[in-house]
Amino acid sequence: MTSVCFYFQVHQPYRLRHYTIFDSATDYFDGFKNAQVCRKVADKCYLPTNRLLLDLILRYEGRFKVAFSITGILLEQFREYAPDVLRSFQDLAETGCVEFLAETYHHSLSFLFSPGEFASQVQAHKRLIRDTFGQMPRVFRNTELIYNNALAEAVERLGGFDAILSEGADHILGYRSPNYVYRPPNTCRLKLLLKNYRLSDDIAFRFSNRAWNEWPLRAEKFAHWIHAVNGNGTVVNLFVDYETFGEHQWEDTGIFEFLRHLPTEIFKHPDTDFKTPSEVAAAYDAVDVVDVPYFVSWADIERDLSAWLGNPMQHNAITELYNLEGQVKACNDPDLLADWRRLQTSDHFYYMCTKWFADGDVHKYFNPYDSPYDSYINFMNVLDNLRSRCDPELNPSKTGLTAAPA
């Protein structure tokens, strides 16, 4: 038996507005742009893909299943800017064929900087998912699939999780295949599901690449590759950004047709089915321990932290941000805390990445800045204002005259 395990990452950050050293208002976020992006992606990707998935789930009467991880801050934005999208996800939840995963509410790198903050964000996200979709998440995925042994241990300590997801990077697997269930060291019951990055990236990145020798990729061919795993593995983990459908791969590339026909082609082999991450964890035993002493992620070729922490500006910005934790929390000001948390979203640091800047490149999609330097300057200006709010002496805003955060 081989199971196909689809998990889609659904996330949009709260982008900052242009904020100079001369600004002093506390509305840091660009409500207009965030609404605009949310609406655009909703129309091109979220709504049509949700509709398609619902069709497929109904047509295959429970045999087709998927999982989502939707960040807390995107659910907030849906509520505000696109309630129809939220409803369509709730419709999917009601079919019983869709699993929702847990992650940090703010899509943050908090695990690397503050274990306490990490725990509260995970709990906040679990509560939100329970309240929104009526199911308690049992599987955890960290921001951008960032993972190491210590994370697995921390997640097991938090309790309530059966499995954790990560990248099936060659350097952690060695000769082993990502198509089995594994287990982290020093944990008792947590299972480790690793992304099959070749097959996942065939859909997410190569699908429309005409220079790729497998182009055009049709459902039949892809299903054939999945079938070939039979006998060599128990699960094929296809972890992709949800925006792949309709945004990264536009509708005219045929991506929706591909998805529409995939289940039929997959089911042509009798020993193949779809399972959600929880079902995979329940159905298959771990075959081995995978030791990951250093952080891995699903980003770029490096599969490490360099997309967010690869240069001095990124380190400086994030360190300064987490240095404020004590002061922010001591203020007991919910607006201040909310702003500080929204600044933790990994995208802010991703925009500062200079890795590919020289080649002109991939970090551009959805990036509101012309250059990583501009994004750093903007972030530091906002942080400077946030810091001033932590000091009651300097903070005149307690009078309630300043604008409410977006």
Partner 1 sequence: MSITTLMLGWEFPPFISGGLGTACYGLTKAMSRRGMQVTFILPREKPIRLAGGSSDVGKALAREMPNVRIRAVASHLSAYGKYGPQPVRPVTAAVEAELADEPPTGEAATYGPSLEKEVFRYAQRVMRIAQRETFDVIHAHDWMTFPAGVAVAASTGKPLIVQVHSTEFDRSGEHVNQFVYDIERQGMHAAARVITVSHYTRNVVVSRYAVPPTKVDVVYNGVEQATGSPPLPHSAWPTRSEKVVLFVGRITMQKGPEYFLRAAKRVLEKLRNVKFIMAGDGDRLHGIIEMAACLGIGHRVFFTRFLRGGDVQRVYQMADLYVMPSVSEPFGIAPLEALQNDVPVLISKQSGLAETFRNALKVDFWDIDEMANKVVAVLRHPPLSEMLRVNGRRETLRFRWEDSAAKVNDIYRRVLHVA
Q: Can 167 be counted among the known catalytic residues?
A: no
Binding characters for partner 1, 341-370, by CB under 8 A (x = yes): -------------x--xx-x---------x
Query: Smallest distance, Å, CB 261 to partner 1?
Result: 42
Q: Residue type for 136, please?
A: M
Return the number of the residue (286 or 377) whose C-beta is nearest partner 1: 377
- Kindly identify the residues of this chain, within the stretch 163-202, that bind partner 1 according to CB under 8 A: none
Query: Smallest distance, Å, CB 305 to partner 1?
Result: 17
- Kindly identify the residues of this chain, within the stretch 122-151, that bind partner 1 according to CB under 8 A: none
Return the number of the residue (98 or 352) whose C-beta is nearest partner 1: 352
Annotated catalytic residue within 99, 117, 144, 243: 144
Return the number of the residue (19 or 245) whose C-beta is nearest partner 1: 19
**Which of the ranges 18-26, 41-49, 95-103, 328-336 carries the binding residues for partner 1, by CB under 8 A?**
18-26
Number of residues binding to partner 1, judged by CB under 8 A: 20
How many C-beta atoms lie closer than 10 Å to residue 242's C-beta? 23
Interacting residue with partner 1 among 201, 325, 335, 374 (CB under 8 A): 374
Contact 101, 165 (CB under 8 A): yes
Q: Does 381 bind partner 1 (CB under 8 A)?
A: yes
Query: Smallest distance, Å, CB 16 to partner 1?
Result: 14
Query: Smallest distance, Å, CB 235 to partner 1?
Result: 43
Return the number of the residue (225 or 357) whose C-beta is nearest partner 1: 357
Query: Smallest distance, Å, CB 24 to partner 1?
Result: 12
**Which of the ranges 14-22, 38-46, 108-116, 279-287 carries the binding residues for partner 1, by CB under 8 A?**
14-22
Return the number of the residue (261 or 387) whose C-beta is nearest partner 1: 387
Query: Smallest distance, Å, CB 310 to partner 1?
Result: 11
Give the CA-trace dihedral at 143, 149, 152, 157, to 10 degrees: -130
**Which of the ranges 17-25, 171-179, 193-201, 325-333 carries the binding residues for partner 1, by CB under 8 A?**
17-25
Binding characters for partner 1, 303-332, by CB under 8 A (x = yes): --------xxx-xx----------------
- Kindly identify the residues of this chain, within the stretch 19-48, that bind partner 1 according to CB under 8 A: 20-22
Give the CA-trace dihedral at 81, 102, 14, 78, to 10 degrees: 0
Neighbouring-strand partners of residue 9: 69, 241
Return the number of the residue (113 or 357) whose C-beta is nearest partner 1: 357
Query: Smallest distance, Å, CB 396 to partner 1?
Result: 18
Rule CB under 8 A: which residues touch partner 1? 20-22, 311-313, 315-316, 354, 357-358, 360, 370-371, 373-374, 376-377, 380-381
Catalytic residues: 144
